[in-house]
Amino acid sequence: MTASTTTETVQTIIAELKDKQGALLPILHGIQNALGYIPPDSVPAIAQGLNLSRAEVHGVISFYHYFRDTPAGKHTVHLCRAESCQSMGSNALEAHVKTKLGIDYHETTADGQFSLEPVYCLGNCACSPAMQIGEEIYGRVSADSFDDIMNDLGADA
């Protein structure tokens, strides 16, 4: 996406949503949905659109774990770290995932394919361990099934 279309996308989203009550989160979601992240240079436009200071907008973006201000990989793996998944071996799975992808949490693989983020419960605790990639949720994930899923996703890269 070129710089000018990015700016346009941001402007369109702001124009569309700014009259909602409490519009900031819907706008940030809109931008992250469209672009995969919230480019720092969109902050002034958001601030202006909502009559806020840039510091306020920045403060909100940085408060929420879900919002990111750097591009993510093509696929973001949200791996559950919470108790139910721990009870079913997520710590070992986590170690496997990090080795397999060669990255730690909040990092992206060098080829730009995968980012890794921790998540604290996906509501999938009846089939732990769990992870989410995009809108897909995976249950009873093992090292082997993780590798299969990665291969499937990597294959259609």
Partner 1 sequence: MSTTIYISGDSTAISIGANRTAAAVVKEAAQRGIAVNLVRNGSRGLFWLEPLVEVVVNNDRVAYGAVNHSDVAGLFDADFINGGHHSLALGAVEEIPYFKKQQRLTFARVGITDPISLDDYLAHDGYRGLKNALASSQADIVKQVTDSGLRGRGGAAFPTGIKWNTVLNTPSEQKYIICNADEGDSGTFSDRMIMEGDPFVLIEGMTIAGLAVGANQGFIYLRVEYPHAHKALNAAIAKAYEASYLGDNIQGSGKKFDLEVRLGAGAYVCGEETSLMESLEGKRGLVRFKPPLPAISGLFGQPTVVNNVISLASVPVILDKGGDYYRDFGMGRSRGTLPLQLAGNLKHTGLVEIAFGMTLRELLYDFGCGSATGRPIKAVQVGGPLGAFVPESQFDTPLDYEAFAANWTVLGHGGVVAFDDTMNMAEMARYAMEFCAIESCGKCTPCRIGSTRGIEVMDDIINNVDREKNVVLLRSLCDTLLNGSLCALGGMTPYPVLSALNHFPEDFGLDAV
| Interacting residue ranges for ligand FES, rule: CB under 6 A | 80, 82-85, 121-122, 124-125, 128, 130
Specify the residue, 6 or 132, whose C-beta has the smaller distance to ligand FES.
132
Report the C-alpha gap between 54 and 35 in whole angstroms. Answer: 20
Report the C-alpha gap between 145 and 59 in whole angstroms. Answer: 39
Residue 35 CB, shortest distance to partner 1, in Å, is 15
x/- map, 33-62, partner 1, by CB under 8 A: -----------------x-----x--xx--
Are 130 and 141 in contact by the 8 Å Cβ rule? The answer is: yes
Half-sphere exposure of 124 (CA within 13 A, CB side): 23
Alpha carbon distances (Å) from 12 to 4, 51, 81, 93, 123: 12, 17, 37, 41, 33
Specify the residue, 16 or 120, whose C-beta has the smaller distance to ligand FES.
120
Report the C-alpha gap between 25 and 57 in whole angstroms. Answer: 10
Contact between 19 and partner 1 (CB under 8 A)?
no
Specify the residue, 130 or 150, whose C-beta has the smaller distance to ligand FES.
130
Residues 87-126 interacting with partner 1 (rule: CB under 8 A)? 87-88, 119-126
Binding window for partner 1 (CB under 8 A); candidates: 94-102, 107-115, 131-139, 148-156: 131-139
Spatial neighbors of 11 by CB under 8 A, at least 6 apart, are 45
User: Which stretches of the chain bind partner 1, using CB under 8 A?
Assistant: 21-26, 28-29, 50, 56, 59-60, 63-67, 78, 82-88, 119-128, 130, 132, 135, 137-140
